[in-house]
Amino acid sequence: MFDIGFSELLVIAVVALLVLGPERLPKAARFAGLWVRKARAQWYSVKSEFEREMASDELKRSVGNPLDDLRSAVSEAGKELDDAGRNFGDALRDTQALATADADAATAVQDIPAAAPATAETPPVIASEAAPGAAPVQAGLDDFEFYTDPEPAPPAPGRSDPSPP
């Protein structure tokens, strides 16, 4: 700090002895020691206060600010909800447009005159795709396959009830 060596202290002691004399030198030395102790105590107090403040700042930085974190999380959630609402609105508009188009198509179909109903004597006519330009072939019920449910499986041997174990 001040970089005072032993020789400088010896010179200060000799000057103090000459100026103050042997009677007042011990009181002056005690008074100087008291001021040095108070200065050191004040220095250590300031140093410890500074270290506590630094530790407090470091703790605040490591923990962060929970209120700011919460605010940012809420704002992000709000943005996501806004995006979801926009997407839902777009989907709803698309669905309404499709429903309007379907209604328009249904109206157009209703404007087409109805065909003569098929009777049991005249089966529907199927155009052959194998030979373009060939005469249409009439189809009967024998030309279609129908799906039927299979019979339920019999119970396992040794079991009388069909319920699962």
Annotate 86-140 with DSSP letters as a single string. HHHHHHHHHHHHHHHHHHHHHHHHHTSPPPPPP-SSSPPEE--SSSTTPPPEE--
Q: What is the pLDDT of residues 64-84, one digit of tens each?
A: 777 888 888 999 999 999 999
CA-to-CA separations, 3 to 7, 8, 12, 14, 15, in angstroms, rounded = 12, 10, 14, 19, 19
Q: What is the pLDDT of residue 139?
A: 52
Residue 7 lies in a domain: yes
Residue 72 lies in a domain: yes
Residue 44 lies in a domain: yes
Query: b/e map of 59-75 (b: 16 or more CB within 10 Å)?
Result: eeeeeeeeeeeeeeeee
48 with 6, same domain?
yes
38 with 90, same domain?
no
Residue 8 lies in a domain: yes
Average pLDDT, the chain: 77
Place of tokens 């109805």: 114
User: What single-letter amino acid sits at 34?
Assistant: L
pLDDT at 108 over 80: no
Q: How far is CA 162 from the centre of its chain?
A: 50
Residue 162 lies in a domain: no
Average pLDDT over residues 29-46: 94
56 with 79, same domain?
no
Residue 119 lies in a domain: no
Average pLDDT over residues 95-100: 83
88 with 105, same domain?
yes
16 with 59, same domain?
yes
Task: Name the residue range of residue 29's domain.
Answer: 1-64
7 with 57, same domain?
yes
Average pLDDT over residues 133-149: 55
DSSP state of 146: -
Provide the domain count of the chain: 2
Handedness of CA 73, 77, 78, 80 (dihedral sign): positive
